[in-house]
Structure 1
Amino acid sequence: MNDTVGGARTGGPRTGSVSRAVRGYLASRFPLPTQGTAIVLTFVSAQLLLDRAVGPVGLRWTGVLGVASFVLLFLQLRLVDDIDDLEQDGGAAGHTRSGLTYGWLTVVVGIVALNLLYPPALGGALAAVALTVLTPFWVKRRLTTRRVPLAVCYETIPLVVMAYPVLFWLSEGGVAPAAAPTAAVVVLFWAAYEFWKFSRKAPDLDYRPYRLGRDGVRAVLLALLCCAAACVATIVVTLPVTWFFIIYQSVLLGLLIAWTAGEWAMAPPAARASRLARALGLAGLIYAVLLQFGVIVEALLWTVG
């Protein structure tokens, strides 16, 4: 059926196909119920810790703009990665380069629109977008293919993204917290993201980020958990947290370090491979959610205390 009005095509079928493509992409490459929820909770958790650092300010309704921007920053990171790896990686199969590019442009426009009234946040968001694009399409293709410089560039991108909640906080007129707890909050959530990133495909024998073997991936995961532990220690020393936060975060990190260090976690017996592969693939996301859960419970304890 040709949907026209006055001889002109209405675009209904076209709109429907675009909508289906967007829903399909999000479902397969950026599932909002899992990754989206974790990203939202990361923003809220960071804001709560900043609130603790400078006094009881509380979350504002305008924080919705920051949450949306934060989700879009991670979505554009996913889109650029798929555009870069479209020929090598079948993950975005069924999506064209032009479609992914238009999607990325739409997301970037959304980020700019949401942050027009917040110059510090807008500057940080644009810096993250620029790094996201320049690293694969300029640094990797024109400057160097050496893994150490590339690793620094690629892993700096999420660090800049994780600084966005702080910049949004400042954009809303929040008092600038001290440098130590601010850095600890940013790096803590960056380490959680990186742990998810490196752990989600660890059981896959073909998964060799930066040409690392299994032992190399395990070493990176343990280093990230130790980094998170240092950040928690900094927060404990510099912020008036409760004993719940100290015990909860210590136990959580201790269990994760012990589990990750175990040989069975990274090289499971064949009979248990599929089950443990699923467990390890979810470990990073579970850690992120449990980390955020602990921060939210801590904030509730501040309220009732």
Structure 2
Amino acid sequence: MYILNEKDYIRSVLASKKKPEDLSIGYLIVLTAKYYYINNENIEKKQLVEIVTNKISDMMIYGYQEYKWIHKIENVCDIFYDSEKDKKSKQKEEINGKDKQFRELKYVPIYQEEIDLINSLPNDRQKKFMFTLYAVARYMDSDGWINKKDLRGLSEIFKLANITLTSDKKNELLHDLYKNGYIYFGKQIDNLNIRVNLAESDNVAYKIKEFSNLGNQYIGNFKKGYRQCANPSCGKRVKMTAPNRIYCSKCAEEIDREKAKDRMKKLRNHKMFEADSMKNA
């Protein structure tokens, strides 16, 4: 999951006392620990562990069992207090260094040079995937590297790019991009650590403000004859069959139903008002 403004996000989650479905428990623990550590200058480690434990328990997460997660909570909280030697734990990638502070981004930029390269690719799948790689690499801020621990993490990138393929076809797409010099792999060629050359430019072509449906964002904004559904919770690509079409078929039907309900409600209220006026006349 990629969150542009972690501080606002976790504040909202803590206020609601409900874990969003797409937020992992591990990431929730990290964000909660950050929030209370940063906002309490003199908090002790034991207090932080207790607060995080209580806040996670308060959310009544289905299947959550404290004894299974307390070690994770303690390890995450340890990072804020322990020495450089202790920071070499598995959690260092999550909250070490600059990541001890919240990521607070207004948007993730994609530059014109990157769009030009993407547009030169031979098919929509490669274009959507490269657009997503640029977005994730800039979000990660690791010199163009996108590091994934396993195949599941890499599948996340394909999902974010709105690409559904078999494993063989995914590998074929990666190989084509690698063979033509668009992406690079780490020294261990396992397709998990990928690097792209990020542009150094002031010429912003697009600002990603919602880190979802990135493949459809590319198609909706850069492929002629298409746009992205205007419903923020949808994000599907829409073929422009009419000049004023801004929603996909499903969202358009839902909006029409809601408008019809509003019209009926106003009509009923108007009739009730007229009836009351006649009684009081």
TM-score between the two structures when normalised by the length of structure 2: 0.34
Structure 1 or 2: more strand by fraction = 2
Higher Cα Rg: structure 1 or 2? 2
Structure 1 or 2: more helix by fraction = 1
TM-score between the two structures when normalised by the length of structure 1: 0.32
